[in-house]
Structure 1
Amino acid sequence: MDDEYDLICVGSGIGGCAAAAAAADAGARALVVERAQVVGGVTAVSGGQIWIPGNRWARALGMSDTAEEGARYIDGVAGGNNDPARTRALLGAADGALDLFTGRGLDLRVIRDLPDYYYPEAGHSAAEGRYLEPVPLPAGALGEWAGRLRRTAVWNMGAGTPGGGTADPELVTGQALAGYFVRAALDAGARLTAGTAVTRLRTRDGAVTGVVLADGREIVARSGVVLATGAYDRNPDLVRRFEGVLDDHGTGSPPGITGDHLGMAAPLGASIWSLPAARNTVQVGFPTGELDEDGTARYRTHWVVHPHEIIVNARGARFADESFYPAINAGLHQFDGASQRLPNWPAWLVFDHDLAERGVVQVDPERVVSAPSVEELARRAGIDADGLAATVAGYNEARARGRDDAFGRGERPWSLWMSRLATGTGDGNPTLGPIVRPPFHAARLARVQAGLGSAGLEVDTSARVLTWAGEPIPGLYAVGNATARNDMGFSAQSGTSNLRGMVQGYLAGRDAAR
């Protein structure tokens, strides 16, 4: 590693590698600095999807869509939390980014029949075509870096589904996407280094001129520094500050996602913009009983896409369509003004032995209680016994009817697609399986972040970090989950975080290389 580069990118996920690739492709000397011993960041543990309206692969299949249609869809579902101009700037730059990265080997394909989250009720939503996934990538394509790509699995939909497996010589989902961008950066001539932590920014007369490493070494950046560090899932103080009090809280993000970008940029007067915490998608899931590489508890999300399971509150009542995780998130944030409490938290996953035998509930066994009857299960778990018995009976009746009149579970096209994928069932509504086979089980849910924070650094349409006065801080860029989500409002779609990282990285790298 030399002492001087044109652009230094802090973080090796899609955003950092995209910025380095874009800058190096334009002739700049670029360096990617990763604090972990492995590369890929949160991208590598994601589902690997990129959501791009009007993309070239959909057009090749004869699908009619545009970036403007996608922007109008976001306008409608973002709840007023997006800046329409930023939304259009982001989506409008996607084609240019794809031109560069496909030229550097990125290979994507349409995920067939997968609709937008809010299709068909939301205006300008699409039945398919906007979701892209990486074509599997041979690990050998990364050369010496193949063994240093992060392998952690986060998402739990069941064995054999996206995010549910482990790495092999052919990379898929998030590992493949991260691998493509690591390869693009290397192919363009950027330098990567892992196991190297940046502790602060080097500045001169208010401009960012480089970075200072943990060992005290200073590296000069002639054109600027890109903060691609992710959010702050593993910083309890920042989680409490921006997300509120989340008892029983963990993260599926890898170690190192500690909000370094905020600590480095704040002293320079950087603007920090935040969504209402209730609009941020914090998943539900469990500690697995395993430890991450830093010795902290490992968590996994749990998506209710199988039969024989429901989510209930302490009264034993269901409160949302469990097959659609944004509905669960909204239900958990319901507030009772009379009691000044959240009536749906804590919450439990309740399931029967049919589901237990499938092995899809990946939870620390010490967190599970079991009983021969639903009533006894409730008493052991601390749930109202009469309430849970009535809820299970009502749910089983809904299964017999083939329709959940209370919450419409499994009827949303997106949820139905995900459930059929997870269960391998080609028709019907596979999420509606009865809870009848003893012993019965309950596991108290945890809140599990997945790399998304309510707060981030405010940037302009070139990914330059802004001050509170709205002026760019010379030489400082931020991309992906390190930035404020006022372009998309909130995580209205899976795949938007990877979209933001790719496009903002492209814009930052190109701007810095001018």
Structure 2
Amino acid sequence: MQDAQNNRVIVVGGGIAGIVTALELLEHGQPVTLLERGTRERFGGLANEAFGGMLFAGTDLQRRNGIADSAELLRADWYRAAEFAEDDHWPMRWADTYIQRSTSDVYQWLRSHGIGFVPAVQWVERGEFTALNTLPRYHVIWGTGWHLTQTLIKALLEHPQRGLLELRFGHRVEQFFQQQDRICGVQGEADGQPFELHGRAVVVASGGINGNLQRVRQVWDRARYGEPPQLLLNGSHPEADGHLHDQVAELGGRVLRLGQMWNYAAGIRHPQPRFADQGLSLIPPRSALWLDCRGRRVGPHPMMSGFDTHQLCGRLGRLEDQYGWLLLNRRILLKEMAISGSEVNHAFRERDSLRLIREMLFGNRAQARLLLEQCPDVLSADSYEALAQQMNALVGNHKVSADQLRASVEPYDAMIARGPRFHNDAQLRRLRQLRNWRGDRLRLLKNQPINDPKALPLVAIRVMLLSRKSMGGIETDVQSRVLDAAGQPIPGLYAVGEACGFGGGGISGIRSLEGTFLSGCILTARIAGQALAGISASSPTLPQGPQQ
């Protein structure tokens, strides 16, 4: 019995990366103990709350949407978006691995588990001034991240090799055991009592650092995002605190690029927070106007979501007071507004096609009610005067005036009234371009003015930066082995998912093409499980196209 226990792999973390690692190990007949610091009800971690978008190139779903994509084109886009540094060797190796293997090892693998995708491929992160995603690649899970996690948990619990799996909840790992330079176990606390476990290897699947707002501010990249924000919302979990990153560093493992994060610029306070500073991430309406803290339209180039999230966060971080306002009306709210995540997208989560069709035709009234009735950062009024008064009361100053709101809106609305032949506003030009793709056309109003008597009340939403994902982390090779300062694997120590920056300590560089996080968790986890089972995989071979 002792020999069997010492032969097991210990997986630390019960999020999607930990679940897939354990599942892959069972597939190859390997004994595994999975430790999760939370309760059984929280099994699956942050992935339970994810909307469930994943980036793939060359899928059958793309082809059915008339998209002719390729690994070569994705690689050119990825490297251009990432802006890799010369010493980003392992992140680049992982990027090539993802590009080569994600469609077969993630997309098709998920399909084999009965997980499907929404028929329309979405086009996100198109690029602000430089092209990012040349083509639509964002594949949305039908059922959201909730369906993903629950399906794979079920596969884990009902696996033919279930007898090789031990699940322990309420176990917080504090540090690792090391014997003769090999990691051979962990110790920590469970139910107020210490515990220790021994095994042949340990896989760190504990997530990133972005649930620890103090730490996020400490590593904040001032050059890219401005000063660390005082107004910062938590879009992760407090358990994502980076403690095991520090333990890996004490063992000599390299922890890099923690200032590279994937945050969001349209965060609002959660109406029913479960922890301090919890936020929701909006998918802002493209027909809304972004205003600064004084109610002035941001420009001369207007802010719009869906083009370059990295750049959008940087712009918001450099605004006065580091928050902004979305100005819209009820019609725009119903048609174009969305909240990211599974918990507020019931049609997607419950896979209710009829409800989804109704929402697309008539607007998402449930989300609109949630925002208008329960979210403290969402305000509405029938006049500029009343709205400005509410905006000032919310933030506790007098920076916004009705005259300024009027001055921000009237030129825009007047241009719409002149007709499309005379549209010479960058936002209107972009809206016209967005409507060329049917995935966007279904979600966009056509030339909708803001102060439209038929679309009142006016709506103002205060938006703040929201901390979400760590794109840096523990450096790993393409077998998910943790590397030391000399670039050598630390025997017995592996890292997967967000803990390793989704591969190599920063697979995405400074900017994601979006949709590379859940899929990155799955790919790194499967590779770690195969490596621990002694399954070799060929190294990625891709054409050496342009890298910048």
TM-score, structure 1 length as denominator? 0.78
Q: In structure 2, how many angstroms separate the alpha carbons of the residues matched to 1:288 and 1:99? A: 32
Equivalence map 1:78-89=2 (5 Å): 78-80=82-84, 83-89=91-97
- Check 1:116–1:446 CA distance in 2 against 1; reply closer, same or farther (3 A cut): closer
Task: Say if 2:116 is the partner of 1:108.
Answer: yes
- Kept after mapping to 2: 8 A contact 1:50/1:133: yes
Indicate the SS of the match to 2:326.
strand
Shift of 1:237: 2.4
Query: Counterpart in 2 of 1:175?
Result: 146
Shift of 1:409: 4.4
Query: Counterpart in 2 of 1:155?
Result: none
The amino acid of 1:204's aligned partner reads Q
- Kept after mapping to 1: 8 A contact 2:182/2:491: yes
Q: Greater CA deviation, 210-219 or 501-510? A: 210-219
Indicate the SS of the match to 1:488.
coil
Indicate the SS of the match to 1:50.
strand
Shift of 1:375: 5.1
- Kept after mapping to 1: 8 A contact 2:378/2:462: yes
- Kept after mapping to 2: 8 A contact 1:11/1:32: yes
Equivalence map 1:255-334=2 (5 Å): 255-274=238-257, 277=260, 280-292=262-274, 295-305=275-285, 307=287, 309-315=288-294, 316-319=296-299, 322-325=303-306, 327=308, 329-334=310-315
Q: In structure 1, how many angstroms separate the alpha carbons of the residues matched to 2:171 and 2:384? A: 52
Q: In structure 2, how many angstroms separate the alpha carbons of the residues matched to 1:281 and 1:418? A: 24
- Kept after mapping to 1: 8 A contact 2:232/2:465: yes
363, 371, 375: which one pairs with 1:362?
371
- Kept after mapping to 2: 8 A contact 1:311/1:349: yes
Q: In structure 2, how many angstroms separate the alpha carbons of the residues matched to 1:274 and 1:500? A: 17
Q: Greater CA deviation, 441-450 or 51-60? A: 51-60
1:476-503 Cα offsets, whole Å, 9 max, x none, are 1111211135322245333200121111
Shift of 1:306: 6.4
Shift of 1:110: 6.3
Q: In structure 2, how many angstroms separate the alpha carbons of the residues matched to 1:16 and 1:404? A: 51
Task: Say if 2:73 is the partner of 1:75.
Answer: no
Task: Say if 2:234 is the partner of 1:226.
Answer: no
Indicate the SS of the match to 1:508.
helix
Task: Say if 2:37 is the partner of 1:35.
Answer: yes
Q: In structure 1, how many angstroms separate the alpha carbons of the residues matched to 2:380 and 2:233? A: 24
Q: In structure 1, how many angstroms separate the alpha carbons of the residues matched to 2:500 and 2:413? A: 45
- Kept after mapping to 1: 8 A contact 2:44/2:149: yes
The amino acid of 1:503's aligned partner reads L
Q: In structure 2, how many angstroms separate the alpha carbons of the residues matched to 1:413 and 1:14? A: 33
188, 193, 207: which one pairs with 1:213?
188
- Kept after mapping to 2: 8 A contact 1:111/1:131: no
- Check 1:175–1:489 CA distance in 2 against 1; reply closer, same or farther (3 A cut): same
- Kept after mapping to 1: 8 A contact 2:476/2:494: yes
219, 224, 249: which one pairs with 1:242?
219
- Check 1:365–1:100 CA distance in 2 against 1; reply closer, same or farther (3 A cut): closer
- Check 1:397–1:238 CA distance in 2 against 1; reply closer, same or farther (3 A cut): same
Indicate the SS of the match to 1:233.
coil
Q: Greater CA deviation, 265-274 or 184-193? A: 184-193
Query: Counterpart in 1 of 2:465?
Result: 447
Q: In structure 2, how many angstroms separate the alpha carbons of the residues matched to 1:326 and 1:258? A: 30
Query: Counterpart in 2 of 1:132?
Result: 139
Shift of 1:192: 3.1
Q: In structure 1, how many angstroms separate the alpha carbons of the residues matched to 2:447 and 2:208? A: 33
Q: In structure 1, how many angstroms separate the alpha carbons of the residues matched to 2:169 and 2:441? A: 39
TM-score, structure 2 length as denominator? 0.73
- Check 1:375–1:394 CA distance in 2 against 1; reply closer, same or farther (3 A cut): farther
1:294-350 Cα offsets, whole Å, 9 max, x none, are x4343111121265x3221134122465542454652442499xxxx6448221223
Query: Counterpart in 2 of 1:198?
Result: 173
The amino acid of 1:108's aligned partner reads G
Shift of 1:209: 1.0
479, 483, 491: which one pairs with 1:466?
483
- Kept after mapping to 2: 8 A contact 1:321/1:328: no
- Kept after mapping to 2: 8 A contact 1:303/1:323: no
The amino acid of 2:115's aligned partner reads D
The amino acid of 2:210's aligned partner reads D
Indicate the SS of the match to 2:171.
coil
CA RMSD of aligned residues (A): 3.6
Shift of 1:460: 1.1
Shift of 1:174: 0.6
More helix by share: 2
- Kept after mapping to 2: 8 A contact 1:77/1:492: yes
Q: In structure 2, how many angstroms separate the alpha carbons of the residues matched to 1:287 and 1:42? A: 18
The amino acid of 1:296's aligned partner reads A
Q: In structure 2, how many angstroms separate the alpha carbons of the residues matched to 1:74 and 1:490? A: 11
- Check 1:349–1:131 CA distance in 2 against 1; reply closer, same or farther (3 A cut): closer
Indicate the SS of the match to 2:20.
helix
Query: Counterpart in 1 of 2:17?
Result: 15
The amino acid of 1:44's aligned partner reads N
Q: In structure 2, how many angstroms separate the alpha carbons of the residues matched to 1:291 and 1:281? A: 19
Q: In structure 2, how many angstroms separate the alpha carbons of the residues matched to 1:124 and 1:291? A: 34
- Kept after mapping to 2: 8 A contact 1:78/1:489: yes
Q: In structure 2, how many angstroms separate the alpha carbons of the residues matched to 1:480 and 1:246? A: 27
Q: In structure 2, how many angstroms separate the alpha carbons of the residues matched to 1:365 and 1:57? A: 36
Indicate the SS of the match to 2:426.
coil
Equivalence map 1:350-389=2 (5 Å): 350-354=327-331, 358=365, 359-360=367-368, 362=371, 365-368=375-378, 373-374=383-384, 377-378=387-388, 381=392, 382-385=398-401, 386-389=403-406
- Check 1:455–1:196 CA distance in 2 against 1; reply closer, same or farther (3 A cut): same
Shift of 1:262: 1.1
Indicate the SS of the match to 1:282.
strand
- Kept after mapping to 1: 8 A contact 2:61/2:119: no
- Check 1:133–1:369 CA distance in 2 against 1; reply closer, same or farther (3 A cut): closer
Name stretches of at least 5 consecutive residues in structure 1 with no aligned partner: 136-171
Shift of 1:280: 3.6
Q: Greater CA deviation, 178-187 or 431-440? A: 431-440
Query: Counterpart in 2 of 1:159?
Result: none
Indicate the SS of the match to 1:243.
coil
